[in-house]
Structures are given as C-alpha cells and as structure tokens.
Structure 1
C-alpha cells in the first residue's frame, strides 16, 4: 500500500529519543551553570534573571491584592510596583500589563507566598499539566511500550525548558489545550471547560471554534462558550469594568511599539509577520502575508479534522496551526509545538516513518532553542518556515493514512465478494 511504500529507515527510535532528551537536560544544567556564574549568582542587574516574566505576574498579583486592578493596568503605577518589589532586577523599559482581566484573576493568589516559592509552584504546576495532558492526547506511553521514560520526551523538550526559565504561562495554556483535545471525544463538557480557561490568553483559542464546527462537537462548543463567558464575567466583577478598557488600550500600545516596530520581538517570534518585518518588509505586506498564512493554516486544520478521527493528527494540526495563525507569538509559546511533536513521534513509532518526517521533527524540536538565542545571534528568522513544514507533514500523513484506509476497505470488500461467490 502507499503508506508502506513511503516509509523510510527509522533513526528516531525510543532509545535514541530518550538519549537525546537526556543529553538536552544535561545541556540545560550546563547553561544554567554558566548563567549563574556569569551573573554572579543572578545578582548583576545588567543580566536578565531566571523567572523574569514571573516577577511581572507576582507584581500584578501584589498590585491587585494591595490596591486595585486599575493600578496594574496603569503603566507608570505598575512600573513603580515592580521596581519597589524587584529593585535588583533589570527591567529596563517595561511594557504595560498586556494580559486580560481573566489572567489577572487566575494569578491573584501568587503574592500570598514569597516569589521564589510561588515561582516553583507556578512552573511546576504548568509542567505537570502540560506533560500529563500531552502524554494523554498523544498516547506516547503506549508508543514507548509503557516505558517509564516517555514523560522525559515531553518534560525534557526545549519547548518546555524555555517557558520554565522565563516563568511564563505557556505551559498552562498548552496544558489546557492538550486536555481539551484529549477530553473532546468522551467528555465534551470537560473539554469545553478547558477551552474556556484559555480566556487567560484568548488569542491561543482562536482556532477552537473552527475545529469544533469541523468535528460537529456542539456540546463542547456550548460548554466552551458558557465557561469562557462565566470566567470573563467573574474577572469583570473582581477587576472592574475599567480593566477591560485599559487592557484594550495596553494591547494597542504593545501592537504599535513592540509587534510592529520591535526588532527584539521579531528575532524571537516564529511568525510570518516577524519573519517579513525582520527581512525589511513594509508593515502592510507583513500583515497581508501573515493573514494569508493564517488562512492556509486554518484551511489545513479544517482539512485534517474533516478527514480523520485520529486524535493525534487532530491535536498536532490544531496546535501548529494556532501558532501560525497568530501574529503575536513569543518563543515560549512553542510549548504548544511540544504537543504536536509528541503526537507525531507517537504516530511515527506506531506506524513507521514517512520520508522527511524525522528531519522536520528534529528541526522543530530544536526551534525553541534557536528562537531563545536568536535575540543575541541575530540569525534569519526561520520559525514560520519550520512550523509550515511541520503542518505540511501532518497534512500529508492525514492524506496517506486516509488512502491506506480506503485501500484496506476496498480489499476487505473485494474479499467479501469473493467469499460470497
């Protein structure tokens, strides 16, 4: 059959994958050691410190618990709060608080305990949620024949390491997405609640309505809409109606200063928009090309969800397409890419590798590290190309698997006819 004809020699075996992940963990330790040494124990103010983004979250929690949401959304007031709480950190020119009131409500308990304690709790919760959710939706443990090291493939991946060192929320959103995709078939209401929780970063849920319609998952769609609406209403009650207006004002400032004109963002953003802006393209062309790629990604994920019921292919296409459809994606958001890679690895180990799959997966696996260091290296922005290649191999796998099913059905039908005769 065609699927068999396209299969190639496997150099991504379970043993080698575990070895690569273990080696990467060793490199993380070396990297953190050099960082610690170079910054004199993370005490130098001219060095970015681990958990830098988390210090912003902790400051926002402190501002809400000891004042109001308005002062968190006020750039000058929030700057003073951060400088007072983390005077030893080099914040430089701070951006305004860019998150919606829903996320502010979610992190409001952070300031109840010291920053270091809450950093480990926040990051640990995100890692656990993302790792367990990814293992569930990908079925990677089964593909590793029950190996106890399957978790290492997820937790040890660069797409997890990058949000951990920043203390970012990408592991939480990736975990919500993974569990939503896992629950969708058997527990539609639970899936909808997980999608509703993505109201903390609504741009990451941009394609969920599309795939739910493609899958005719009406109960999940209804549960997602209701849970997101209730979450939003709660955030307005806690933070006040003014917080919504201030959030929109701050996002406009960020778009005009950071997304459209911030080279430091372009170098670390795996998006079509950032690629074109870094290459010198005018603003209108970058937006137009980004919109075109977003439409291609949406069409691809629609195709996959309409032509297969394989949860792994659906999850992989959705997470990659979500990254491609957004104009505002940092390197730490590639935690979502980890879900797709785990699903593709599981499929490859179960069904055999197709030509080019292993190379694309290896390239995508290293992409977060490339993006992390690119703000210093200033190399060409290749993130969008890698994501498009990943989406391409998902669509091809969907097509080949579909052709294989058709051929097997035709053979079974022919055999049945011959038996009757």
Structure 2
C-alpha cells in the first residue's frame, strides 16, 4: 500500500507533546494510586465480608475451577451464579454468563495460584504496562494527548479489573507489526480468539490488504490453541461454551438485560424502546458501514497507518456485545491517527474528535460511580457510546479524506509546475 504524503496539508499542526505532558503524568499517577488502593482493598477482604463483585472476580473464580477440574460448570448460568454468590456472600451485580472461549478460560488459569489481591495487581498492572508501552510505540509525539483522552477508559478498566488492557495490547501489537513483521502481527491477531468479535475489522483489513502471512499465522494460532484446550479440558468444554453463547444471546434479546455500559448501536436502540429484532438489524447495518469504512480506506489507498487506525475504531462497532471496558482498542486507533488528525483537522474538528474520544469513556466511568453509590442496584439508563463512536468514525473519515485529496492535488500541481 503506497503512502500518501500529507505533510504539507494544513500546516505542521500543533505540538502537543509538551502541552499535555503534565496532564498525562497526573493521569498516570492517578492510575497508580487507584491500582494500589484496589489491590489493598482486595488483599484485606475476608471471606464472609460483603463487597461489590468485580469483573476480575469472575476471572478468578473461573481460574479456581480450572485447577479443581470442573471448569465446564462456569458455562452454565445457575452454577456460575452460585459460585459468584458463594464467593461474595450476596447476589448483587453477579455476572450471569461466562461466554469467553476456552482459550481465555485457559489463559486466566494462573490467576488462582496467588491470593486475589496479588493476582489482581499482577494481571491489571502487567496488562496496563504493556498497553501503555504499545500506545507509546504507536502514537509518537501524541502519547501524552492519547493518555489524557483515554483517562476515563483507563480508570473504568482498572476499577473492574477487566481484560481491556490485554485486548488493547493485542490489537495494538497487531497494528504496530502488520506491515513489517507479519508473523508477529499474526500471533497477536490470533490471540484475539479470546475475544474474537473485537478483532473482526482488523482481520478484514489483513484480508483485503492481502497480508497473507499474518492471516495464516492467526489461523494457525486459533487452530493450535483450540486443540490444546480440547486436550486439557476435553471435548465437552466446547458444547458447554456453545450452550452459554446461545443462552447469552437469548438473554441479550430479553427485557432483563442492562445496556447502559454497552457501546453498540444495538444497546442504543434497545434503551430507546425498539424491539430486539429491529435493534439487531440496526446493529447489522452499522457493522456493514464500519467494515465498508475499512474497505474504503484500502480502496482509496490511504496510508497503512490510517487504514489500521480506522480498522481499530471500526472493530468496536461490529458486535452488540462490545462494552466500555473494550475501549482501550479505541485508544489504539486514536494513537495511530492523532499524529495526522491534529495536523489535518480544523480547530473545531480537533475539539470534536477529542471530546468524542474522552466522552466515550467518561459515560461508562460515570455509570460505575453511580452503581457504587447505589450499592450495585442497576437502574436502566440510556446507552450513548455507540452514537459517539459512529460520529467519531464519520469525522475521522471526513478529515482524512479531505487531507488525502488535498495532498494529491498539491502533488499534481507540483508535477505540472515542474513539467
């Protein structure tokens, strides 16, 4: 894929490396403080004491069942719910379904080898550290700006102990190595089998851009990891996984599902009162638009960095199951795009891009704080993030398309002048 030279379009752009550096340091200090406080809270917790259930608790419970040899039971609603109630002592905000593929079940198994507090710290601190290093390698001089815009996303992912830093790192490494280290890109893309719905657009990019080595390596990782899980857990693990996936899909279409932390258009339509069937149609339409944006970027011969950034943003818009703790992948897209967006966009467009990125995480963080104050009682709220992401993708395409067109016109004018 050829590189479109756009250095002259819109001038050199503002220098944010110094302007935002102090703010980024405060964000990172804040993350470190919250990480220590969360670890201390989990480490001091005693069985029988009441506390809110974290997403990390689900990972820890599943890890324990791996070593006890009965992990298949976590894929069944009643049994998994009972395990959570037994662990926390009450049934507030339990997670009804474990729908992760067996590969992720195997991945979390080592978590049970340590007490819950130490396990949380190593998992979250380790994946956060890798994620930040990946962002720094991608974002160049815009790293501080990216950190500030992602501050709510980083906090909400840390609060829950979720795997967003891990998936963000995998997508980030895939994008970082796609053009020059295809095998490394394929390894990280293949590892996204732990959350395959979040890798669709990046996988489509690899196919359309004919990155065959990356595609074949990713397929090999999926196949070999599936064989390994079958050998370790038995063939029954797959029927249990499929049963849980089916039951979860049925639950997603019910009136009992809470959508306010979902980032999909499906969630927006459901909270607006549309039926599940119409909401699924709307989600399918958005998925087609998102994948079309990836194809369009390749067709217009955008630089690989732009096309990969668009793919990272678009991949969050494919599945109705995407949540706010998956937004670290958005950070990868913005890290790829911001060095050029800050230069090509007008002042108003830059403000809109920054605001949409920040608000996409802030809404979820607000919901976490609300639930904490309300002691886990979930009162349905409208879902908003899906609309923010659609608007952000449209604005990104608008700025980049204008920049590419202007660059081509300038190049043509220079060639004519020389002629």
TM tier, shorter chain?
A: 0.7 to 0.9
* Aligned mate of 1:233, from 219, 227, 230: 227
Match of 1:48 in 2: 52
- 1:204 aligns with 198
Question: Secondary structure of 1:270's partner?
Answer: coil
Give distance in 2, aligned partners of 1:120 and 1:259: 35
Match of 1:118 in 2: 119
Relative to structure 1, is the Cα distance of residues 330 and 150 closer, same or farther in structure 2, using a 3 angstrom cutoff? closer
How far the C-alpha of 1:106 sits from its partner, in A, is 0.9
Aligned to 2:180: 186
Aligned with residue 334 of structure 2, among 310, 332, 341: 341
Q: How does 1:6-85 map to 2 (within 5 A)?
A: 13-21=16-24, 48=52, 52-84=54-86
Would you say the 8 A contact 2:189–2:203 is kept in 1?
A: no
Local SS of the residue matching 1:281: coil
Question: Displacement, 1:54?
Answer: 0.9
> Is the partner of 1:356 in helix, strand or coil?
helix
d(CA) in 1 for partners of 2:217, 2:35: 42
Task: Determine which structure has greater relative contact order: mean sequence separation of CA pairs < 8 Å that are 6+ residues apart, divided by chain length.
Answer: 2
Q: Answer yes or no: is the 8 Å Cα contact 1:8–1:354 preserved in 2.
A: no
Task: State whether structure 2 residue 257 is matched by structure 1 residue 255.
Answer: no
Greater shift, 342-351 or 24-33, is seen at: 24-33
Structure 1 residues 96-105 or 403-412, which shifts more? 403-412
Q: Is the 8 A contact 1:63 1:81 kept in 2?
A: no
Q: Which moved more, 1:305-314 or 1:13-22?
A: 13-22
SS in 2 for 1:185: coil
Number of the residue aligned with 1:386: 388
For normalisation by structure 1, the TM-score amounts to 0.84
8 Å CA contact retained: 1:6, 1:354: no
Residues 117, 93 of structure 1: CA spacing in aligned structure 2 closer, same or farther, 3 A cutoff?
closer
**Contact 1:69/1:240 (CA < 8 Å) preserved in 2?**
no
Number of residue-to-residue matches in the alignment: 402
Q: Distance in 1 between matches of 2:34 and 2:133?
A: 26
Deviation at 1:7, TM superposition (A): 5.0
Cα distance between partner residues in 1 of 2:12 and 2:344: 12
Rate the CA distance shift 1:42–1:397 in 2: closer, same or farther, 3 A: farther
Q: 1:268 aligns with which of 261, 264, 270?
A: 261
Q: For 2:7 and 2:411, locate their aligned partners in 1 and report how far apart those are by CA, in whole Å.
A: 16
Q: Give the Å deviation of 1:126.
A: 1.4
SS of residue in 2 equivalent to 1:48: coil
Q: Which residue is 2:362 aligned to?
A: 369
What is the CA–CA distance in structure 2 between the aligned matches of 1:34 and 1:180, rounded to whole Å? 32
Contact 1:304 1:398 in 2 (8 A): no
Q: Which residue of 1 aligns with 2:404?
A: 402
TM-score of the pair, normalised by structure 2: 0.84
Alignment correspondent of 1:283: 276
Cα pair 1:9 1:353 within 8 Å, conserved = no
Unaligned segments of structure 1, at least 5 residues? none
State the alpha-carbon separation in 2 of the partners of residues 53 and 243 from structure 1: 22
Gaps of 5+ in 2: 1-5, 371-378
The answer to whether the 8 Å contact 2:24/2:145 transfers is: no
SS in 1 for 2:183: helix
CA distance in 2, matches of 1:227, 1:195: 9
Aligned residue runs from structure 1 range 169-184, under 5 A: 169-184=163-178
In the aligned structure 1, how far is the partner of 2:111 from the partner of 2:129? 18
Partners of 1:405 and 1:315 in 2: how far apart?
Answer: 20
Measured at CA, do residues 225 and 31 of structure 1 come closer, stay the same or move farther in structure 2, by a change above 3 Å?
closer
Provide Cα deviations, 1:117-150, integer angstroms capped at 9, x if missing partner.
Answer: 1111111121122212222233x23x57xxxx57
Distance 1:107 1:27, change over 3 A: closer
Distance 2:157 2:205 in 1: 26
Counterpart residue number, 1:218: 212
Aligned Cα RMSD in Å? 3.4
CA distance in 2, matches of 1:281, 1:98: 25
Name the CA distance, whole Å, in 1 between partners of 2:8 and 2:410. 15
